[in-house]
Amino acid sequence: MNATDAEPSAAAAPSRTLTVTIIPGDGIGPELTRSAVRVMDAACAMTGLDLDVTEERAGAGVYRETGAALLPGALDRLRAGDGVLKGPVGLPEVRRPDGTEGGLLGGLLRNGLDTFANVRPVRLLPGVRAATTAGAGSIDYVIVRENTEGLYLSRGAGVRTHHAAADQMLITRAGTERVVRFAFEQALRRSGAPRDGVRRVTCVDKSNVLRSFALFREVFDEVAAEHPDVEADHYYADAAAHALVTEPDRFDVLVMENFLGDVLSDLGAGTVGGLGMCPSGNIGTDAAYFEPIHGSAPLIAGRNLANPTSQILSAAMLLRHCGQAEAARLVESAVEGAFAEGHITILPTGSPAAGTEAVTDVVLEHLASAARARGGTPDMPTTEPTTERKRR
Ligand code: IPM
Ligand code: MN
């Protein structure tokens, strides 16, 4: 965007550039990331930011070609920019010799970049039809999933014979402490549970059965004691699954082991309109990347059937993480406005009735009218991407 057609405050600010690396991924990944980049580009333009997009190929397609899911030097390139937006990866036919999927990036990126906190907001937006009796606004919690250890540390490293297989769960004091601290910090930035406005962090575990989970809870309680201003709460994982369906409004922030977080975040998505509604951030000390919580759905790839909302909301999380709270808020408001109007119908299959492109266009139209309301650029992009000019 050039400074002369910016709104007055943006015109006065020096031009800034946000460098974002896109991992298009497999299946529906490329079409989703394209949608999200169009939206990000528009929101950045409104806040006087230049969006500079580079692509990093990774995932199952790359694994099939090269035998590795990441190209050499990828982790350094991903660390170098301001932010990383990743599409879903994986192709069911791409398998390792042991039968597990080849080309998944979870272990490589989460452990490789040490992004120890997987932040998964679950929100029921107005205008979204969901499989719950809860009303919009009454589901608004964040699952903080430990992202570098737990059961998934055994990814690709379990023991297997013809007759038996074993994967181990690793819980460390240090790994638990850092993610629990992160969860309490999240709670301090939020305004509490929808039911009562109480800031609350819920520890989810099976400490009644397994020693590993007992250690997780012990560390949780130690960190909780340092936060008298936030209510500390405990649920066994099975009871948590029940409560997330029957009384989701009591939850604010939940923290849990990797595998539990994987499962319960999909459960949460099921209560707010499906996986296509749920973004996530993988956050570490010196790296972060943002992605939908769902898979690459190769069966519907390229058919304009995927819901781009999770990818677009992941882009908003990225913007906020990069210090661009205003751009993030613009994207979130545009998504909320688009659904609140009632013009977006998500079918029981999870697909938007009008298609991927149509949802993206409605979100862009909401951004454009926000720009007009701010007295800014009347010729804001609506349906035409402006980002293509920056793609390299
Ligand atoms: C997720 C996904 C990944 C995970 C898969 C695709 C490896 O399900 O991000 O939740 O298990 O973490
Ligand atoms: Mn998952």
Is the pLDDT at 342 greater than 90? The verdict is: no
Atom of ligand 1 nearest to the CA of 88: 6
pLDDT cut 90: percent of the chain above it: 85
How deeply is 231 buried, as exposed, middle or buried, from its count of CB atoms within 10 A (0-12, 13-18, 19+)? middle
Residue pLDDT, tens place only, 274-302 = 999 999 999 999 999 999 999 999 999 99
**Chain-wide mean pLDDT for the chain?**
92
Q: Pick from 92, 66, 43, 61: which is nearest to 329 by CA? A: 43
Of 1-5, 92-96, 340-344, highest mean pLDDT: 92-96
Q: Say which of 98, 196, 238, 379 is annotated catalytic.
A: 238
How many Å apart are CA 19 and CA 50, to the nearest integer?
A: 8
Residue pLDDT, tens place only, 119-142 = 999 999 999 988 888 889 999 999
Please report which confidence band the pLDDT of residue 103 belongs to, taking 50, 70 and 90 as the band edges.
very high
Q: Say which of 152, 205, 233, 252 is annotated catalytic.
A: 152
Q: Has 152 been annotated as catalytic?
A: yes
> How far, in Å, from the CA of 60 to the mean position of ligand 1?
14
Is the pLDDT at 331 greater than 70? The verdict is: yes
Residue pLDDT, tens place only, 351-384 = 999 999 999 999 999 999 999 998 765 444 444 4
Q: Which pLDDT score is estimated for 13?
A: 52
Structure tokens at 352: 């938007």
Q: Say which of 50, 52, 249, 266 is annotated catalytic.
A: 266
Q: Which pLDDT score is estimated for 374?
A: 84
Q: Which pLDDT score is estimated for 15?
A: 67
Query: What are the beta bridge partners of residue 231?
Result: 200
Residue pLDDT, tens place only, 144-201 = 999 999 999 998 889 999 999 999 999 999 999 999 999 999 999 999 999 999 999 9
Task: Sketch out the chain's domains with CATH numbers.
Answer: 15-92+102-116+280-392 (3.40.718.10), 130-154+169-272 (3.40.718.10)
Query: What are the beta bridge partners of residue 20?
Result: 53, 83
How many Å apart are CA 37 and CA 185, to the nearest integer?
A: 29
Q: Which pLDDT score is estimated for 388?
A: 36
> How far, in Å, from the CA of 106 to the mean position of ligand 1?
6
Stretch (H or E) spanning 270: helix 258-270
Is the pLDDT at 310 greater than 60? The verdict is: yes
Mean pLDDT across 54-63? 98
- Under a CB-based contact definition with an 8 Å cutoff, are residues 171 and 203 in contact? no
Kindly write down the DSSP assignment for every residue of 141-201, as one continuous string. Answer: EEEEEE-SSBGGGGTTT-EE-SS-EE---B--HHHHHHHHHHHHHHHHHS---TTT---EE
Q: Which pLDDT score is estimated for 123?
A: 98
> How far, in Å, from the CA of 258 to the mean position of ligand 2?
10
Is the pLDDT at 6 greater than 60? The verdict is: no
Q: Phi/psi of residue 100, each to 5°?
A: -80, 165
Amino acid in the structure at residue 195: R
Q: Has 50 been annotated as catalytic?
A: no
Structure tokens at 18: 């946000």
Stretch (H or E) spanning 313: helix 309-321
Q: Which pLDDT score is estimated for 3?
A: 36
Please report which confidence band the pLDDT of residue 77 belongs to, taking 50, 70 and 90 as the band edges.
very high
Residue pLDDT, tens place only, 239-280 = 999 999 999 999 999 999 999 999 999 999 999 999 999 999
Check if 104 has its Cβ closer than 6 Å to any atom of ligand 1.
Answer: yes
How many Å apart are CA 281 and CA 293, to the nearest integer?
A: 9
Atom of ligand 1 nearest to the CA of 106: 7
